[in-house]
Amino acid sequence: MPSPSIYTVAQRAGVSIATVSRVLRDSGPVAATTRERVLAAAAELSWSPNRLAAGLAARVHGAAGIVFPDLAGPYFSQVVLGFEEQAVADDRSALILATHGRLNADEMVLDLAARVDGLVVMDRTVTDEVVRCLEGRGSPVVLLARPAVGATPAVRAESLDAATRITAHLIALGHTRLAFLGDPEAAPDVDDRWRGFLVAHLEAGLPAPGKPVRSGFVQDEGYAAGTALLDDAARPTAVVCANDEAALGVYAAARDLGLRIPDDVAVTGWDDIPAARAVTPPLATVRQPMRELGRQAGALLSARIAGVPADSLTLPTEIVLRASCGPPANSRTPTNRIPTPTRRLEP
Amino acid sequence: MPSPSIYTVAQRAGVSIATVSRVLRDSGPVAATTRERVLAAAAELSWSPNRLAAGLAARVHGAAGIVFPDLAGPYFSQVVLGFEEQAVADDRSALILATHGRLNADEMVLDLAARVDGLVVMDRTVTDEVVRCLEGRGSPVVLLARPAVGATPAVRAESLDAATRITAHLIALGHTRLAFLGDPEAAPDVDDRWRGFLVAHLEAGLPAPGKPVRSGFVQDEGYAAGTALLDDAARPTAVVCANDEAALGVYAAARDLGLRIPDDVAVTGWDDIPAARAVTPPLATVRQPMRELGRQAGALLSARIAGVPADSLTLPTEIVLRASCGPPANSRTPTNRIPTPTRRLEP
DNA sequence: TTGTATGCGTTATCAC
DNA sequence: GTGATAACGCATACAA
């Protein structure tokens, strides 16, 4: 029993396929009674138009894709969820592709591009060259958490300044031996955070800090890097982590080494994931609008698909001071409030 | 400049479109030299076959979809990532749809079904009726974290027995006033966990516990429910949470109430997310193979798409005892090891 | 080994 | 209002 087609429905309703198409897409005038007959026939056959055929004829996929590395965890899910949300709002399906650092990522992305009306590309999943290639083939692209490429716009969250400020805060608290935990080469955003870390040292007249302590984004890597970093008499008194999950790894490392946070070592993260508020002491961090990043990227993509040129966008971030960056503050009587309006303190 | 078609390439290579199709899909014999010419022409035009047209002709979408509620957090991302991984391995694109509890979820899922070769449906995103409807329309479905429906198979992680055992462990530790935090009506899995909680009480000869303390899956909800539950002189001495994130909310609630874990209240979670090991004390929980769930569901779906009938599948879970369920164990000298081989202790 | 011709299920442009 | 009919871009029996 082959699935019904527009012909089956037309025949059953006693009209032509053109009429069936009209009522379903309600393009063009149709008599009320005719409409009823068609709708009834379609319902009886439980028919819905074949998207492949419809797309082919209309030259539209009705779908958008997003490409990301391998990020599990809150950042990934929030960004993708935001993207999905926007796609659905724009009446498009959402396709996802995790490159995992697979060698044939370029190929996979190119393939994906052939089945969507446009796509969002995160981080360094593919080279600038591929981005240009995609645009050249007529696939609108929006970059996410990565610098713009030519006329291809980017959506990002501010990183450099926030990193400078949160580092400056630690320095103002008296820290002089600070470490940066994360891999600047892993993602453009991390590179910005690392640079902000450096800028704060410069502005404070402190000697340049050592190289970053390489770590990936997941907790286990943060644990390993944190252990290596802290299991040393000459350990830093403050650790600025590239993201919250790595910071939680440092929490575990500190605990296993018998070190207290923030007394023995201050720690800050990035993202403000829910767990940052659950741990003790609560984790100071920089909040970035993860879901909104995905949503905005999706919106920009929709604009580009519609032929509207779109400009790059940088969303604001927010420093969230909590007890982990010390000095130890009782949650009921916070002492580390900072007056700067863009900063914020939570209990 | 309209994008090139198979005709453009054929013309440029001096062959027919049939030959072009043959080399690209390498179906049928093609002379080596001819192949080269075609490949060259395709490259020069940077052409790739239109998926819509190809799919229409081949009656295949080359895509699979997954439908889930709204779950952010590790569980969601891992399951979806596992699904995506399997889809890619089977040479299919992955479409996602979050229903968010939107009222028109049925409609959205039906629409999604029209653009994939089959789909995975999680939890109670749609009714059994819709599942039957999908199958009726020829869309293979695989259920995830939800009971099978007729011939539609389900992939699940064992919940009932694990819940019974982890509750029994708490009871064996001397607890008699236990609470279950979570909403059994929110998801089939939670219902199983709640029932296991009850079974353990029965088996231990303890009086039936009170109603579950309703809470969603996110930390904030766990915090609210936990606060209401613990801010009471008659509070329970142990809380079995439906998932880790809610449990972390309980951690925060306990801290804000000045209660210590596990001394004042023991806490267990579910999933074994990374943060469970980062918090102090480490969170006892039940590990379920989240990524594998998505992967297996994807694999079963592929089988069904290929016409192979597939049976339901229940993946094993693993109890992970950590200090949060007490008695207080120093991480260096664990005292709560349990000899049962299926159980496991981590430092 | 290669080319021809038909079908895939819609959309959309015309006439009527 | 409605109905032919030509794209849409490709896959594939069938011929050659």
pLDDT of B175-191, one tens digit each?
999 999 999 999 999 99
Rounded Cα–Cα distance for residues A72 and A100 (Å): 10
A-chain residue closest to B63, CA distance: A95
Rounded Cα–Cα distance for residues A196 and A78 (Å): 25
The residue ranges of DSSP E strands in chain B, in sequence order, are 63-68, 93-98, 119-122, 141-144, 154-157, 178-181, 238-241, 266-268, 285-287, 313-315, 318-321, 343-345
- What is the side-by-side order of every strand in the sheet holding B266-268? B178-181, B238-241, B266-268
**pLDDT for res A71:** 72
The tokens describing B88, both together, are: 């890619």
pLDDT value at B344 more than 60? no
The tokens describing A112, both together, are: 């994906």
pLDDT value at B343 more than 90? no
Average pLDDT over residues A225-243: 97
**For chain B, how long is the longest CA-to-CA vector?**
87
B-chain residue closest to A255, CA distance: B280
**pLDDT for res B346:** 44
- Phi then psi for residue A110, to 5 deg, are -60, -40
For B58, other C-beta atoms within 10 Å of its C-beta total: 11
Residue B1: pLDDT band by 50, 70, 90 thresholds?
low
Average pLDDT over residues A189-203: 98
Please answer whether residues B118 and B141 qualify as being in contact, where contact means their C-beta atoms are separated by less than 8 angstroms: yes
Residue A334: pLDDT band by 50, 70, 90 thresholds?
very low
The residue ranges of DSSP E strands in chain A, in sequence order, are 63-68, 93-98, 119-122, 141-144, 154-157, 178-181, 238-241, 266-268, 285-287, 313-315, 318-321, 344-345
Chain B residues 53-82 within an 8 A CB cutoff of chain A: 53, 55-56, 61-63, 70, 72-74, 76-78, 80-81
- What is the side-by-side order of every strand in the sheet holding B343-345? B285-287, B318-321, B343-345
The alpha carbon of residue A174 is apart from the nearest alpha carbon of chain B, in Å, by: 27
pLDDT value at A338 more than 90? no
Please name the member of B50, B81, B133 whose beta carbon is closest to the beta carbon of A98.
B81
pLDDT value at B323 more than 80? yes
Nucleotide nearest to A29 (CA to C1'): D1
A3-16 pLDDT, tens digit each: 899 999 999 999 99
For A127, other C-beta atoms within 10 Å of its C-beta total: 12
CA–centroid distance for B116 within its chain: 20
The tokens describing A178, both together, are: 């600070």
Q: Which residues 6+ apart lie within 8 Å of A306 measured at CB?
A: none
Instruction: Check CB contact under 8 Å for A245 and B81.
Output: no
Q: How many CA atoms lie within 13 A of B298 on its CB side?
A: 29
Question: What H or E segment, with its residue span, contains residue A83?
Answer: helix A73-89
**pLDDT for res A67:** 98
**Long-range CB contacts (within 8 A, 24+) of A222-228:** A222/A181, A222/A246, A222/A247, A222/A248, A222/A249, A222/A250, A222/A253, A223/A249, A223/A250, A223/A252, A223/A253, A224/A249, A224/A253, A225/A181, A225/A249, A225/A250, A226/A181, A226/A250, A226/A252, A226/A253, A226/A254, A227/A253, A227/A256, A227/A257
Give the bases of strand D that a protein CB approaches within 7 Å: 1-5, 7-13
Which of B319, B276, B317, B321 has its CA nearest to residue B293? B317
Chain B residues 234-293 within an 8 A CB cutoff of chain A: 245, 248-249, 251-252, 255-256, 274-275, 277-280
**pLDDT for res B73:** 84
Residue A2: pLDDT band by 50, 70, 90 thresholds?
low
Instruction: Check CB contact under 8 Å for A133 and B46.
Output: yes
Average pLDDT over residues B218-243: 97
Rounded Cα–Cα distance for residues B7 and A226 (Å): 59
Rounded Cα–Cα distance for residues A123 and A17 (Å): 46
Strand, coil or helix: A315: strand
Which of A157, A109, A155 has its CA nearest to residue A300? A155
- Report chain B residues whose CB lies below 8 A from the CB of A62: 115
**Long-range CB contacts (within 8 A, 24+) of A343-346:** A343/A165, A343/A318, A343/A319, A344/A318, A344/A319, A344/A320, A345/A320, A345/A321, A346/A277, A346/A282, A346/A320, A346/A321, A346/A322
Rounded Cα–Cα distance for residues A79 and A156 (Å): 11
B109-152 pLDDT, tens digit each: 999 999 999 999 999 999 999 999 999 989 999 999 999 999 99
Residue A332: pLDDT band by 50, 70, 90 thresholds?
very low
Rounded Cα–Cα distance for residues B189 and B191 (Å): 5
pLDDT value at A339 more than 50? no
Average pLDDT over residues A112-125: 96
Average pLDDT over residues A204-219: 96
Alpha-carbon distance values, B148 to B132, B145, B151 (Å): 11, 9, 7
Please answer whether residues B17 and B10 qualify as being in contact, where contact means their C-beta atoms are separated by less than 8 angstroms: yes
The tokens describing A199, both together, are: 């800028």
Strand, coil or helix: A155: strand
Which of A107, A79, A105 has its CA nearest to residue A94? A79
**pLDDT for res A330:** 39
Chain B residues 88-107 within an 8 A CB cutoff of chain A: 88, 93-98, 100
The owner of tokens 């925060």 is B252
Rounded Cα–Cα distance for residues A322 and A277 (Å): 9
B63-86 pLDDT, tens digit each: 999 999 987 789 989 999 999 999
- Phi then psi for residue A63, to 5 deg, are -150, 150
Q: Which residues 6+ apart lie within 8 Å of B321 measured at CB?
A: B169, B284, B336, B337, B338, B343, B344, B345, B346
Please answer whether residues A242 and A213 qualify as being in contact, where contact means their C-beta atoms are separated by less than 8 angstroms: no
A162-185 pLDDT, tens digit each: 999 999 999 999 999 999 999 999
Instruction: Check CB contact under 8 Å for B96 and A110.
Output: no
Average pLDDT over residues B27-46: 92
The tokens describing B51, both together, are: 């998926």
The tokens describing B112, both together, are: 């999604």
Which of B124, B63, B9 has its CA nearest to residue B298? B63
Strand, coil or helix: B26: coil
Instruction: Check CB contact under 8 Å for A56 and B50.
Output: yes
Please answer whether residues B278 and B285 qualify as being in contact, where contact means their C-beta atoms are separated by less than 8 angstroms: no
B-chain residue closest to A50, CA distance: B114
Rounded Cα–Cα distance for residues A230 and A253 (Å): 8
A vs B: CB pairs below 8 A: 156
**pLDDT for res B287:** 98
- Report chain B residues whose CB lies below 8 A from the CB of A88: 97-98, 108
pLDDT value at A335 more than 90? no
Please answer whether residues B217 and B183 qualify as being in contact, where contact means their C-beta atoms are separated by less than 8 angstroms: no
**pLDDT for res A343:** 35
- Phi then psi for residue B166, to 5 deg, are -70, -30
Q: Which residues 6+ apart lie within 8 Å of A331 measured at CB?
A: A282, A323, A347, B256
Strand A141-144 relative to strand A119-122: parallel, antiparallel, unpaired?
parallel
pLDDT value at A257 more than 80? yes
Average pLDDT over residues A10-31: 92
B94 CA → C4 C1’, Å: 37
* pTM given for the model: 0.92
Rounded Cα–Cα distance for residues A176 and A170 (Å): 9
